[in-house]
């Protein structure tokens, strides 16, 4: 029998994984145990490896948790998945990671190399499953190749732009004995801080300086670069509103800056009208450029042809991906923006001061409108999302938790109140204080909260003392097993389930489809009913507090009235901070559920009134969009998120 002392002195090929993680400073592996993975998981039992195995109950939870850890540390999250079912189960969040440029290293333990060709149990072409959603996907050919492959995998995941990497390892390779001197020497680091070409910078700066009505679109590369200040300076210089890419993965611009206008609309018409009000668009780190659900070429491109486009990105793929860019800057956002601003400052744009004055006025009026909306919400007999967002804001501020909280957002049909009211500004937050994903595959946020909470200190000087995850009832049902891991590891996360007993975002999507195709030549499709039962989550209605209690021992409560929200949020925060255990608030938010006796039309009218009462975030373009509607471009569509 091998003694513990002797075991420490022995090394196997699996230990190359821990060499890589030690070099970078990664302390967690996420996964679901399978026989093939046990040699790697066993390595976490050795204290000298400084790695803890976080057992999840589904591979997509493991990937989501690894994404959360990666977001907080700016280092690759590591997950180990089990052969074909493992990577297949993980595809949803692998896709999210790819679209959100999250660095991951996913290790998948393949069946024995000598057996794979015979099509044994669980085996398949694993690389083909993962390839389209990764920067690099590879199956190790010999045990001797492991150091080379692992060094490349971690290097590539961290290289700009970041992203997931997949490595399939025939599992017998992980048990191959190696000598004590056989170690991974390190992981190559490629600095992301490179600037664009000087002549290209001058060309771009002059286009911006000469613009009569510029717009800035801030994408995820802004947040990852920590370039709030640099983009604020440029917005002030040229007097431009700053709109964010739809489904931004981070807070890509501070919401207390008066240039901030929220995210681009989620409709073709809305995006066209936003860009159509401008002569020059500066697209900064703009990666996900077509975040709409319904598109028709006959209605025109998302960016009208009259808009001159200037790009800045650390990814050549995102520069001119869908549209011609008159000027293209390939470089790091934070390093390049000051050089652009220096040249613009020498050629002070005409009209910038007047545009800034107007933006300040609109910002002030927006605050008044939202205060009035909140006051109206407090008088209702149902809970509007703005009440929940305001309660969170007040508690975070009252407790002095600025830069000590992370908000994880998957309440997708109620985004605006959280994005606007939460203290996601320069004094109390950083880009990573807000976490969403650009892929749209639902069920990611609860898993992500695990990895975020495990990492106490974020790389942008953000702590995770308080982690709040707002998630729709439909999204929460994808992976409620998350609550087991949260309870098992004493992860004090406040889960707020915005429970409207329906797939509300799909109901909004159905209305978009009807509007787009219901009367279109060659289509003319309309559903048998525009209030289908299959978009409801009832009969029986899930009891989320009971589900969390059964799975993870979590405490919680149901909240039904707006006047009770603040106290419930306070109790929830007290619980997660003091007891360090998860807490679930089942908040019965307003939906479209017909009353008894059923009067669907009345219910839809009530819901429409609620949305129409909600002020816009993009106050700058509200006037422009209304004017375009009056000129025959169609009635403006409310900026509602839709995921099909």
Region 587-593 average pLDDT: 74
As separate numbers, helices (DSSP H) first and strands (DSSP E) second, the chain gives 24, 20
What is the topology classification, in CATH, of domain 198-360? Rossmann fold (3.40.50)
Average the pLDDT over each of 68-77, 296-305, 587-596 and give the range with the smallest value: 587-596
Per-residue pLDDT at 1: 45
549's CB contacts (< 8 A; 6+ apart) are 555, 556
Backbone angles phi, psi at 459, to 5 degrees: -75, -15
Q: Collapsing DSSP states into helix, strand and coil, what is residue 463? A: strand
pLDDT, mean of residues 242-269 = 97
pLDDT above 60: residue 102: yes
Task: Please tell me the predicted confidence (pLDDT) of residue 638.
Answer: 47
Joined tokens for residue 209: 């300086």
Q: How confident is the model at residue 430 (pLDDT cuts 50, 70, 90)?
A: very high
Domain coordinates of the chain in residue numbers?
10-178, 198-360, 381-502+554-589
Is 90 exceeded by the pLDDT of residue 35?
A: yes
CA distances (Å), origin 192, targets 158, 162, 186, 221, 315: 9, 10, 18, 11, 11
**Percentage of the residues of the chain whose pLDDT score is greater than 70:** 90
Ramachandran region, residue 119 (left: φ > 0; alpha: ψ -120 to 50; beta: rest): left
User: In this structure, which CATH number among 1.20.1440.230, 3.40.190.10, 3.40.50.970, 3.90.420.10 belongs to the domain 381-502+554-589?
Assistant: 3.40.50.970
From 576, 608, 595, 540, select the one nearest 395 (Cα to Cα).
576
pLDDT at site 519: 74
CB 96 within 8 A of CB 441: yes
282-323: per-residue pLDDT in tens? 999 999 999 998 899 999 999 999 999 999 999 999 999 999
pLDDT of residue 624 exceeding 80: no
Query: Which SS3 state, helix, strand or coil, does residue 595 take?
Result: coil
376 has pLDDT over 60: yes
Same fold, 10-178 and 381-502+554-589: yes
Domain 10-178 is of which CATH architecture? Answer: 3-Layer(aba) Sandwich (3.40)
Cα–Cα separations (whole angstroms), residue 41 to 37, 88, 151, 174: 6, 20, 20, 11
Given a contact cutoff of 8 angstroms between Cβ atoms, the answer to whether 179 and 11 are in contact is: yes
């Amino acid at each position: 029998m091998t003694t513990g002392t002797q075991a420490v002195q022995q090394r196997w090929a699996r230990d190359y994984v821990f060499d890589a993680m030690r070099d970078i400073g990664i302390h967690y592996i996420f996964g679901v145990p399978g026989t093939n993975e046990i040699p790697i998981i066993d390595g976490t039992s050795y204290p000298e490896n400084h790695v803890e195995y976080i057992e999840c109950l589904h591979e997509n939870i493991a990937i989501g948790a690894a994404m959360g850890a990666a977001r907080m540390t700016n280092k690759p999250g590591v997950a180990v998945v089990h052969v074909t079912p493992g990577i297949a189960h993980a595809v949803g969040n692998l896709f999210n990671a790819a679209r959100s440029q999250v660095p991951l290293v996913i290790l998948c333990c393949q069946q024995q190399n000598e057996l794979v060709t015979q099509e044994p149990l669980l085996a398949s072409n694993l690389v083909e499953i993962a390839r389209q959603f990764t920067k690099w996907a590879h199956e190790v050919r010999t045990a001797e190749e492991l150091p080379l492959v692992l060094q490349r995998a971690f290097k590539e995941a961290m290289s700009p732009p970041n992203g997931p990497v997949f490595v399939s390892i025939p599992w017998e390779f992980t048990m191959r004995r190696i000598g004590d001197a056989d170690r991974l020497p390190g992981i190559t680091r490629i600095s992301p801080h490179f600037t664009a070409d000087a002549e290209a910078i001058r060309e771009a700066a002059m286009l911006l300086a000469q613009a009569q009505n510029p717009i800035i679109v801030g994408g995820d590369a802004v947040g990852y670069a920590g370039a709030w200040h640099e983009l604020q300076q440029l917005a002030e210089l040229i007097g431009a509103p700053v709109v964010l890419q739809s489904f931004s993965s981070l807070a890509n611009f501070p919401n207390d800056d008066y240039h901030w206008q929220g995210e681009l609309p989620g409709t073709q018409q809305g995006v066209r009208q936003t860009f159509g009000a401008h002569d020059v668009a500066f697209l900064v780190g703009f990666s996900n450029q077509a975040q709409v659900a319904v598109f028709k070429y006959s209605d025109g491109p998302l960016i009208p042809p009259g808009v001159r486009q200037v790009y800045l990105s650390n990814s050549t793929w995102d520069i001119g991906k869908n549209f011609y860019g008159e000027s293209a800057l390939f470089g790091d956002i934070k390093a390049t923006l000051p050089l652009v601003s220096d040249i613009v400052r020498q050629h002070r744009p005409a009209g910038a001061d007047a545009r800034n004055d107007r933006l300040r006025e609109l910002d002030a009026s927006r605050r008044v409108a939202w205060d009035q909306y909140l006051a109206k919400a407090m008088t209702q007999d149902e809970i509007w999302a703005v009440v929940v967002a305001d309660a969170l804001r007040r508690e975070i501020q009252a407790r002095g938790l600025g830069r000590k909280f992370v908000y994880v957002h998957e309440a997708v049909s109620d985004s605006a109140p959280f994005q606007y009211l939460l203290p996601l500004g320069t004094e109390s937050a950083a880009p990573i204080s807000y976490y969403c994903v650009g892929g749209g595959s639902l069920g990611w946020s609860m898993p992500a909260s695990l990895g975020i909470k495990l990492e106490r200190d974020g790389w942008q000087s953000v702590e995770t003392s308080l982690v709040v995850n707002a998630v729709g009832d439909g999204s929460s049902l994808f992976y409620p097993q998350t609550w087991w891991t949260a309870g098992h590891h004493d992860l004090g996360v406040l889960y707020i389930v915005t429970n409207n007993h329906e797939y509300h975002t799909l109901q909004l999507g159905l209305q978009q489809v009807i509007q787009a195709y219901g009367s279109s030549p060659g289509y003319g499709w309309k559903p048998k009913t525009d209030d289908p039962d299959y978009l409801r989550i009832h009969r029986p209605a899930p009891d989320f507090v009971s589900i969390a209690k059964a799975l993870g021992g979590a405490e919680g409560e149901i909240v039904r009235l707006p006047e009770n929200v603040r106290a419930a949020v306070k109790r929830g925060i007290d619980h997660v901070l003091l007891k360090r255990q998860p807490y679930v608030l089942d908040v019965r938010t307003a939906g479209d559920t017909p009353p008894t006796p059923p009067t669907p039309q009345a219910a839809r009218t009530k819901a429409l009134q609620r949305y129409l009462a909600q002020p816009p975030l993009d106050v700058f373009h509200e006037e422009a969009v209304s004017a375009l509607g009056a000129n025959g471009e169609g009635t403006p569509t409310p900026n509602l998120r839709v995921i099909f």
